[in-house]
Structure 1
Amino acid sequence: MTTIEQHTVQAIRPFTVHFRDEALDDLRRRLATTRWPTRELVGDRSQGVQLDTMRALRRYWKGEYDLGRVQSRLNALPQFTTEIDGVNIHFVHVRSEHADALPLIMTHGWPGSIIEMLDSVGPLTDPAAHGGAATDAFHLVLPSLPGYGFSAEPAEVGWDLVRTAQAWAELMRRLGYDRYVAQGGDVGAGVTDAIGRLGPQGLVGIHTNLLVPALNDPASLPSDTEEERAALAAIKVFQTTGNGYFVEMATRPETIGYALLDSPAALAAWMIDHDTDAYYKIASAFVDGEPSGNLTRDHILDNITAYWLTGTGASTARSYWEAYGPDAPAAGRPPLPAPRVPVGFSTFPGEIWRTPRSWAEQSYPTLDYFGVAERGGHFAAWEEPEVFAAEVRAAFRPLR
């Protein structure tokens, strides 16, 4: 490859979101012709997303929600694309006004996107304006996972968590950051865990708010205390009654993809049926008009609308097959060594399970920060951006 070709492949290009009017009109038409199932036969979510929740969500989405919000919110921030390992990666890159800010690459999960992190941009890049200290500022990089949002979907198998982590290391190199930290929750915690274990040049620390080793092998963790046994019980409940979406996407992503691309109501129902805490908070926002923190109707629909208008229902589902599926090429890959860089972890009260400190210490021998947040759940950055940002600042403060 010539020098000119290398420069072209590695080029970082400005990006602007633009949705065609025809796509918005099609969404309105499909919402207007939604076909409803009959009402569930129980009084809770044990049969799935409740009809009243979906009717309220569709009513607001169709009649009151501004379909231009996604485009305007993203275009208010600096966006770029660059091709890495054959996939065009979309990312938001906000440099702090503080010259000595610490570069941070932060990874979203499913059913999230960079949308869930937008309200943490201010507290992280300009902490002094949000009750923090200027010395805690970050230069922030928010990439869209391959197949999510405006990142292209891979044209071949093999884009698991490790390959994505390698791509993130390359992205930070291209941006000129020779010293940086990484953060993630949900799938993003898996990517962040992987980049910590890979230990690429320049990475000096990681922070997550979901303990990936606990989900992968809970039986290996201590169960001596009441707190530890409660965490194990919560994981068991999730794995037996709450992870239907996980099993389907990890084993048959293409099957569910047909519904997710054909019906906005099906997409919305699939996305909000994630975990009990998040579901009831979302249901309350639409049915009762009572949001939990930043988890408002508009913010929830920003995320769902982004999925619909980018047509990524199937490709995002496929990412679970790549990361967690028993038939994925990476399924037989030997485990990576424990991270050698400092690790921070924060536990939030509404998470699927409350991670005990003992679990984090066993999972990460280099753990140097363990935070217990007062508010927030699985989608911590989305629901409580100020609390989340405070945890991230505290975790990385010793590395400055």
Structure 2
Amino acid sequence: MTTVRPFRIDIPQADIDDLRDRLSRARWTAPLPGAGWERGIPVAYLRELAQYWANEFDWRAKEAALNAFPQFITEIDGLDVHFVHVRSPEADAVPLLLTHGWPNSFVEFTRTIGPLTDPRAHGLDPALAFDVVIPSVPGFAFSAPPREPGMTTARVAAMWATLMDRLGYDRYGAQGGDLGAYVAPELALAAPEHVIGVHLDGGIGMPTEDDVPAMSAEDRAQWAQMQQWMTGGVDHHALLRAAPQTFALGWNDSPIALLAWMMQKFQEFAYTADRAEDVIDRDHLLTDIALYWFTQTTGTSSWPMYDGLRDGGGFGWPTDQNLVPTGVYGGGSPLMRTLAERGNKITHWPSGNPGNHFVAMEEPAAHVADIRAFFAELR
């Protein structure tokens, strides 16, 4: 049960042909009155994107690129866990576990693996390099789904601690954004004697209504922007908490429905851009979406919403931990740092880093630079 087995992606050609056939036979709805995205994804835009997915997107090329990274499967707590494991050519590399978000996958980090593991080849100081481990969260991509209710980010973190021990790593860092920003602090709580530090893309120090009276004008302006982002768009937490099975039936059967849903969410997460593909390469987005389609994981990946991100269920911000240092890529206002420091040992809080929600996809160079800056302080 502790065996680590090599793994390669090999999607059957029949599945690729079936996807193209389904895309070609789509029954399109008429566009509703309104402009832009105010009623959802524009039909004309989605039709063009679907045509590109069917006729120009080269899955086999993307599959070969993903298979260039060593991948493995091992069983943990009765579930097969898929993971990428790339060792650095540099001596004394720091082991680093990266946890992806939703609606994402290990594809999220593919453009950062090279600079993290082989900085010398990318014009960076080789004195700091990383062995990178990127597991697929249970229910995502090639990892087995939870078999019963009750999966939480704390349980995932405990599985990650087992994985790192199985790989022979005694001291390592943890990093994540979105769903990964919930798992990484839980990993520090699960194995504080092994975790060097936790680097997050964001999600801590978030104010509540109780904090509003003490806010400065700058704080209030940022709070208004946060409220607009948190309450705008489609609330996937509410939707998938209420009826994940119902919606997954549509997404699993229709690639058009899946494409519309995923691009809707990526659009909302790219909140400062006109279109998600203005900041994330179209093929990069479609590689992630195709992975959901081929692995049929739109339903099984919904557990963070219907089981709850934390013990006890429901939505809440990532759990505080002050056992190891925390660094944040997009720190936010001084108020947010003050709030974050109530329950976290903040040692890295930069300002001005570029990017929206999925910064590893949008700004891989900046993401790598910030991870390096944080962990350089902890060596």
| TM-score for the superposition, normalised by structure 2 | 0.92
- Give the superposition deviation at 1:372: 2.6
Residues 91-148 of structure 1: CA deviation (Å, up to 9, x unaligned): 0000101121110000110111111110100111112222321122111000111000
- Assess if the C-alpha contact under 8 Å between 1:211 and 1:355 holds in 2: no
Q: Which moved more, 1:127-136 or 1:380-389?
A: 127-136
User: In the alignment, what sits opposite 2:289?
Assistant: 304
Q: 1:339 aligns with which of 322, 344, 356?
A: 322
Please give the alpha-carbon distance, in whole angstroms, between the structure 2 residues aligned to 1:298 and 1:157: 34
- Assess if the C-alpha contact under 8 Å between 2:200 and 2:329 holds in 1: yes
Q: 1:360 aligns with which of 325, 337, 362?
A: 337
Residues 282-338 of structure 1: CA deviation (Å, up to 9, x unaligned): 8474xxxxx42xx1121111111111001101111233212349xx854599x9663
- Assess if the C-alpha contact under 8 Å between 2:309 and 2:315 holds in 1: no
- Assess if the C-alpha contact under 8 Å between 2:74 and 2:80 holds in 1: yes
Please give the alpha-carbon distance, in whole angstroms, between the structure 1 residues aligned to 2:338 and 2:315: 26
Percent identical among aligned pairs is: 37
Structure having the higher helix fraction is 1
1:282/1:195 Cα in 2 relative to 1: closer, same or farther (>3 Å)? farther
User: In the alignment, what sits opposite 2:375?
Assistant: 396
Gapped regions of structure 1 (runs ≥ 5)? 1-8, 286-290, 348-353
User: In the alignment, what sits opposite 1:176?
Assistant: 168
1:397/1:40 Cα in 2 relative to 1: closer, same or farther (>3 Å)? farther
User: In the alignment, what sits opposite 2:351?
Assistant: 372
Q: 1:32 aligns with which of 15, 21, 24?
A: 24
Q: Which moved more, 1:246-255 or 1:29-38?
A: 246-255
- Assess if the C-alpha contact under 8 Å between 1:199 and 1:340 holds in 2: no
Equivalent AA in structure 2 for residue 360 of structure 1? R
- Assess if the C-alpha contact under 8 Å between 2:93 and 2:130 holds in 1: yes
- Give the superposition deviation at 1:199: 4.2
What is the SS of the residue equivalent to 1:136? coil
Please give the alpha-carbon distance, in whole angstroms, between the structure 2 residues aligned to 1:198 and 1:213: 21
Q: Which moved more, 1:178-187 or 1:267-276?
A: 267-276
Please give the alpha-carbon distance, in whole angstroms, between the structure 2 residues aligned to 1:152 and 1:138: 27
- Give the superposition deviation at 1:281: 4.7
Please give the alpha-carbon distance, in whole angstroms, between the structure 1 residues aligned to 2:167 and 2:210: 39
What is the SS of the residue equivalent to 1:42? coil
The residue correspondences of 1:183-222 to structure 2 (distance < 5 A) are: 183-212=175-204, 214=206, 218-221=208-211
Equivalent AA in structure 1 for residue 287 of structure 2? D
1:361/1:10 Cα in 2 relative to 1: closer, same or farther (>3 Å)? farther
User: In the alignment, what sits opposite 1:108?
Assistant: 100
1:135/1:265 Cα in 2 relative to 1: closer, same or farther (>3 Å)? same
- Assess if the C-alpha contact under 8 Å between 1:53 and 1:283 holds in 2: no
Please give the alpha-carbon distance, in whole angstroms, between the structure 1 residues aligned to 2:210 and 2:289: 36
Q: 1:320 aligns with which of 302, 305, 323?
A: 305
State the aligned residue count.
Answer: 374
Please give the alpha-carbon distance, in whole angstroms, between the structure 1 residues aligned to 2:59 and 2:122: 29
- Give the superposition deviation at 1:211: 1.2
1:73/1:361 Cα in 2 relative to 1: closer, same or farther (>3 Å)? farther
Residues 233-253 of structure 1: CA deviation (Å, up to 9, x unaligned): 223223332242221113321
What is the SS of the residue equivalent to 2:102? coil
- Give the superposition deviation at 1:280: 7.8
Please give the alpha-carbon distance, in whole angstroms, between the structure 2 residues aligned to 1:283 and 1:234: 19
- Give the superposition deviation at 1:73: 1.8
- Give the superposition deviation at 1:20: 0.6
| TM-score for the superposition, normalised by structure 1 | 0.87
Q: Which moved more, 1:261-270 or 1:41-50?
A: 41-50
Q: Answer yes or no: is 1:260 the counterpart of 2:251.
A: yes
- Assess if the C-alpha contact under 8 Å between 1:58 and 1:265 holds in 2: yes
1:55/1:91 Cα in 2 relative to 1: closer, same or farther (>3 Å)? same
What is the SS of the residue equivalent to 2:145? coil
Q: 2:216 aligns with which of 209, 225, 241?
A: 225
1:18/1:281 Cα in 2 relative to 1: closer, same or farther (>3 Å)? farther
User: In the alignment, what sits opposite 2:43?
Assistant: 51
User: In the alignment, what sits opposite 1:236?
Assistant: 227
The residue correspondences of 1:149-160 to structure 2 (distance < 5 A) are: 149-160=141-152
- Assess if the C-alpha contact under 8 Å between 2:81 and 2:137 holds in 1: yes
What is the SS of the residue equivalent to 1:45? coil
Residues 244-272 of structure 1: CA deviation (Å, up to 9, x unaligned): 22211133211211111011111111112
User: In the alignment, what sits opposite 1:120?
Assistant: 112
Q: 1:387 aligns with which of 358, 366, 370?
A: 366
**Coordinate RMSD, CA, aligned:** 2.3
Please give the alpha-carbon distance, in whole angstroms, between the structure 2 residues aligned to 1:148 and 1:56: 27
Please give the alpha-carbon distance, in whole angstroms, between the structure 2 residues aligned to 1:336 and 1:26: 42
Equivalent AA in structure 2 for residue 385 of structure 1? P
